[in-house]
Structure 1
Amino acid sequence: MTTARLPLFPLNAVLFPGLVLPLNVFEERYRAMMRELLKTDESEPRLFAVVAIRDGHELAMTAPGMPDPAAALHRGPAAGFGPAPLDSFHPVGCVADAATIRERPDGSFEVLATGTTRVRLLSVDASGPYLTAETEELPEETGDGAGALAEGVMRAFVNYQKRLAGARERSLSTSDELPDEPSVVSYLVAAAAMLDTATRQRLLEAPDVAARLRAELKLLRSETAVIRHLPSLPAVDLTQTPTSPN
């Protein structure tokens, strides 16, 4: 399998292939990463690996634009992640391609990246100005019955969206508005459904597309049943996705 050493960007979120990730980069270790990525010619991909932080390991500064003064005593690329950073992260992440990196006057960065391929973390190196990881690309296996499962997931997702949004105009009205390629459907639904980080991580790590779709079908039916009994859910707030700070 293909391996590569990439800059590592830990988040309290899961990135999926094909999904867009906006970032507000203000910590020095991640500023250094973006400055290095900017050295790559615009015609080449500016790649880094995004990995979700395990529950109970989040000690790094994450407030958008407002670093925690108490955390400033702990410096360096592995600050907040302990003596063995690899143990602080989920084992599977996603490579991101930074299409846009804009430096602000204060030295922070506004970044817009897109997920590309899944990778497994093999090791983490904290010897430089920012974390890097040796990564192994994971194959995208389709699995049995992915096409039929994708159709079922699309129907369930449309029903879920209508329930969540109270059948307002912002909800999807027909499955024609969703893609029909099974892997794309699987990642779109994983990112768009109201799921916690641990559940999203399990979907990212699914052994193949069919397994991911089967899990999503079960989740969507369960969540839709819950929403049906909670008609007062604040749908507008729930369906908004905030910018991810570093």
Structure 2
Amino acid sequence: MPQRLPLFPLGSVLFPGLVLPLNVFEPRYRSLVQDLVAGAEDLESEEDVRGFGVVAIKAGHEVGEGNVSALHAVGCVALVREVTETEDGRYELVTVGASRFRLVGIDDAAGTPYLTGLVEPFGDDDEEDDDSDGRLTVLFDAVSRRFDEYREVLDIGGAQVPDDPRVLSYLVAAAMVLDTEQRQRLLEAPDTVTRLQAELEVLRREIALLRAFGAVPATELPEWPVSN
């Protein structure tokens, strides 16, 4: 049965495990933060967190009320780690991507100024990756090598590349210079093997193009949390 989840539509894609800082200034999303803060008082311990759904907008920067067709079908839960209220009423958030979800509808009866989605779990986030045939290990090694090469071409600095295949797959998806549609396809990959295979193909193509025509401006790896 679908669960209710506050939604924060963005023009970008959030991946599990990645840190997403947000500067919240629109009144409806300030209300979302206020609801999360008020609801946190009911949590059993300070270690518990509340979150909202980050879902990418298909085009433009705004989503009309109840217009689920303007949003991609798969998003990522953002767990709130830090909330800072500024003197002018804005909120500065530090969030971390958690599990993926599929957006099946909008709860029009929620009565919130922000969108409240009806969502279901998506993908293999809570399952252990199967490497019984060794394919996952082979892909992990290949993507690691290609990603190192990609970073060298672009002069990308930042965090150490993780040694967990799933973590690597999400980090590569977030770190590559891709458009929103490409990132969304990687978010929607059903499992780690499929995601790594797609990334290997993209890395090979991008490295060839970069070596042939020059590099894009240097960037850094997105921040990866020390712990969840």
Judge same fold: TM > 0.5, yes or no: yes
Structure 2: gaps (5+ residues): 223-228
The CA distance in 1 between the partners of 2:197 and 2:183, in whole Å, is 14
Aligned to 2:226: none
Superposed CA deviations along residues 188-230 of structure 1, whole A, max 9, x for unmatched, are 1000111111000000001111010000000001011111023
Say if 1:194 and 1:6 are closer, same or farther in 2 by CA, change over 3 A: same
Partner in structure 2 of residue 134 of structure 1: 118
Percentage of identical aligned residues? 45
The equivalent of 2:161 in structure 1 is 178
Q: 1:146 maps to which residue?
A: 136
> What SS does the aligned partner of 1:155 have?
helix
Equivalent residues of 2:11, 2:61 under 8 A apart? no
Distance 1:148 1:118, change over 3 A: same
> What CA distance in whole angstroms lies between the structure 2 residues aligned with 1:83 and 1:37?
20
Q: Alpha-carbon deviation of 1:20? A: 0.4
Matched residue, 1:214: 197
CA distance in 1, matches of 2:216, 2:196: 27
Aligned to 1:195, which of 178, 187, 200? 178
Measured at CA, do residues 59 and 196 of structure 1 come closer, stay the same or move farther in structure 2, by a change above 3 Å?
A: closer
1-side partners of 2:118 and 2:10: how far apart? 18
User: Deviation above 6 Å: which 4+ runs of structure 1?
Assistant: none
Structure 1 pair 30/150, CA: closer, same or farther in 2 (3 Å)? same
CA contact (8 A) 1:99 1:114 kept: yes
Post-superposition offset of 1:123: 1.0
Q: Which residue of 2 aligns with 1:68?
A: none
Q: Report the TM-score when normalising by structure 2.
A: 0.85
Choose from 53, 56, 62 the match for 1:52. Answer: 56
Give CA-to-partner distance per residue, 1:143-199, whole Å, 9 cap, x none.
66222211110110000010111xx8x378xxxx42221111110100011111100
- Write out per-residue CA displacement over residues 31-77 of structure 1, whole angstroms, 9 at most, x where no aligned residue: 0000111111443211100000002xx253xxxxxxxxxxxxxxxxx
Q: 2: CA distance between counterparts of 1:10 and 1:161?
A: 30
What's the counterpart of residue 32 of structure 1?
Answer: 31
Q: 1:191 to 1:11 in 2, by over 3 A?
A: same
Q: Which amino acid aligns with 1:102?
A: T
- Flag structure 1 segments of 5+ consecutive residues without an equivalent: 61-80, 242-246
1:239 Cα deviation (Å)? Answer: 4.1
Number of residue pairs matched by the alignment: 209
Q: TM-score, normalised by structure 1?
A: 0.79
Aligned Cα root-mean-square deviation (Å): 2.1
